Structure 1
Amino acid sequence: MNTPQINANFNSNLGLNANCLPGRTFYLGLDGQHGTNIDFIPVLLHEMGHGLGFQTFSNGQTGALNGGIPSIWDRYLLGTVTNKLWIDMTNAERAASAISRDGLVWTGANVNAALPSVLTFGLASATFSGPAAGDSAGTVRVGEADFGPALGTSPIFGQVMPVVEQIAGTGEGCQPFNTLNTLAVAGKVAFINLGVCATAIKAKNAQDAGAIAVLIGDTVAENAVQPIPLGGWEPAQTVPVVRLFLSDANKLKTSLLKRSRTASGVFVNLGRNGGAQYAGADPQGRALMFAPNPFQGGSSVSHFDRTMFRNQLMEPAISNDLGISVIPPQDLTFRLFQDIGW
C-alpha cells in the first residue's frame, strides 16, 4: 500500500495573521522550551494518536455504529449510568452516554493499572468559611491552571479579597495593581473575574501584588462536574491559580460585598479535598473519557477527559506543560494503545 494511512495538516500561518492566534507560532524544537509559543511536537503526536486509533468510529450524536459494526474502541467504553459497555448498548443509550459528563469511563486493564502512577490523587477543591462566607460556605470543586504550581496535599489557607477594575473597560487584574488593589490582596487570596485579558496576565499581576493564590471566577455557565483547567503560559507564576464555576463565583461575589479595603471575613482553603479519587478518574479508579453536554463533534468520546491531572497528550485541548513522553509516569496514551491491540 503506497497511499498514506494517516494525514494531518497544520496551519503555517499560525501566529502570522491577525485572525490566527497573532503572536503565537509553532515552536519546532525538540527540547520543550516553547515559551509562549505552541509546542509543535505534542500537537503532531496528538494527531498521530488519532490516526493510530485513539477514537471511536461510532456516531456519538445518534449512537449508530459505523456500518453496524462496533469498533475496538467501543469495547472498552463503559457507561456508568447503565453499567453497560458501548458494544452492548442501544443507539439511544450510546448517544446518552456520550453526553454523560463524568459517566463515561475506559475499562482497559493497561490504562487503569498505570493510572495511579500518572494522575494526582485527590480532586482540586476550594473550601470557603468565615463569619461573612454566607451562601458561599462549603467545599466546591475547582479547575487548576496549566501554569503555576499544582495544588498539593498541604492546603493553602487565606482570606479572599476581590480585585476591582482600575480603568473602565480594561478588565479586572489586567494592569499592574494600583495601591488599593495591592493593599487588598497582599498576603491574601485574590478573586478576579475571567475576561478581557489573558488569565496568565491577571494571575501574574496578582502575584506581583503579593497574593498567595488566585481564584478566577468563570463568566459563562458550564454543564460539567468540575471546572475545566485554565489555559495559558506564565513561567514566572509561583502561586496557584484555579477556576470557579460561575454559580460558585456568583455566591462568592455576594459574600464579598460587605468588606473593608483590607478584610472580607471570607476565607478559603485550597487543596485536594474535592473527593478521594484520582483527578480524571471515577471513584473506582477508571479513566474518565471526554463526554461533555452538549456533544462536541470531533472531540467528544475520542479523548481523555479534561479533568485529568497531570495533563495528558490525548485530552481535547493542548496544555502548555505537555512533554513528548507517551508512557507512565507522564502519560497514559501508550497504555491505551496496548489495550486496543497495538
Structure 2
Amino acid sequence: MTRVGVVGATGYAGADLARILHGHPGVELSVITSRQYAGVPLSRIYPSFEGVIDRVCEAFSVDSICEKADLIFTALPHKVPMDIVPRLVERGKRVVDLSADFRFREVDRYEAAYQPHTARTLSEKAVYGLCEVYADAIRSAGVIGNPGCYPTSVLLPLIPLMRAGLLKRSSVICDSKSGVSGAGRSLSIGSLYCEVSESFRAYKVAEHRHNPEMNEVLSRECGQPVAITFVPHLLPMSRGMLTTTYAELTGPADADAIRSCLTGFYAGRPFVRICSENRLPDTRNVRGTNFCDIGFRVDKKNNRLILISAIDNLVKGAAGQAVQNMNLMLGLDETAGLDSVPFPL
C-alpha cells in the first residue's frame, strides 16, 4: 500500500484531502503537516474528524516527510511549493501540488500573474492535472500542477467544443460563481459572515489570476492564441461552484452536434456527467463529490451556445481532483476513494 502525505493539512483543501485519503482503499495517510498547528491532532482543528482522523500534525521537514511518504500532496499558498517541491523531487518523491506554482508551462504567464518563479525548469516539465483531458501524461508524471477550481469548471465544458472547432475563440465569456471556501481558511474581511451573507458580488473582474491559466490551456488546445473574458462572483454559501459560459457558434446552431461532441469526448470518464435535455447543473447535486455536471442550451436566435457546469470547488476543484491525479499516477482505479454517492438533498 502506497504511503501518502499531506503538507498543509489544516486548510480547507488540505482537510478535504485528509478526509478523502483516510477512506481510500489503496493508500495509507501516513503523515500530515501544519506550520500553525504542529503537535495538534487534526480532529481538534476539525471536530468532525473526532475518533476518525486523530493523526497529529507535524512540523514540515523534508527528511521526515520523505521518510514517511512515497507520494506527497502540497496544499500550500502560492510561492511556498516552488521552494519545497524541488527538494521532494530530488529525493525521488512524486508530488501533486494544489497551488498555482506548477500549473503553467509558460512560466512567464505565471510570473505576470503571481510572482517570480524559482523553479522554472521543474514547472515547465510538470503536467497539468486536468484528469479527463491529460490522463495519459498524468500516469507517468513526477509533478502534477493540480488545476484551479475556476479553471476546472471552465475548461471541462469548453475543451471538447474548442477542439472540435464548434466555437468562435474570440467570443468566449465565462461567468463563474463560487462559495466562500474558495477564498481559503485564512482570516479576511471579505470572507466574514456579515460581509458575505445576504450579498452577491463580482470581484477581480477581468484581472483574476486564474484567467491566464485558462488562456494558456485553451491556447494549447486550439493551437492558436485564446483570451477569454472571465468574471468571478462570490456566493453566500460555504462550498460549490457554478460557471455559465457564453460563446458564438462557428456554424448553424445544432444542439445534437453539441451533445454528441460532449458525450463522445467524455465517454467512459466517470466524473463528468452530461445532463439530460430537461436538466441543468445545480451545485447541490455535486456537493461533496468529484463530479462535474455539464449542461447547455442553444440560443438559436443569436447562434450562441450557453454552457453551464457545476462542481464542488473543494473536491473536483481541489482535493478530489488531486486524489484522482494520484490514482492515475499509481495505476489505481480512477474512482478509488472518490466513489461516494451524492447527497439527494
Name the TM-score class by shorter chain: under 0.3
Q: Which has the higher strand share?
A: 2
Larger Rg: 1
> Which protein, 1 or 2, shows the higher relative CO under an 8 Å CA cutoff with sep ≥ 6?
1
TM-score by length of 1: 0.24
TM-score by length of 2: 0.24
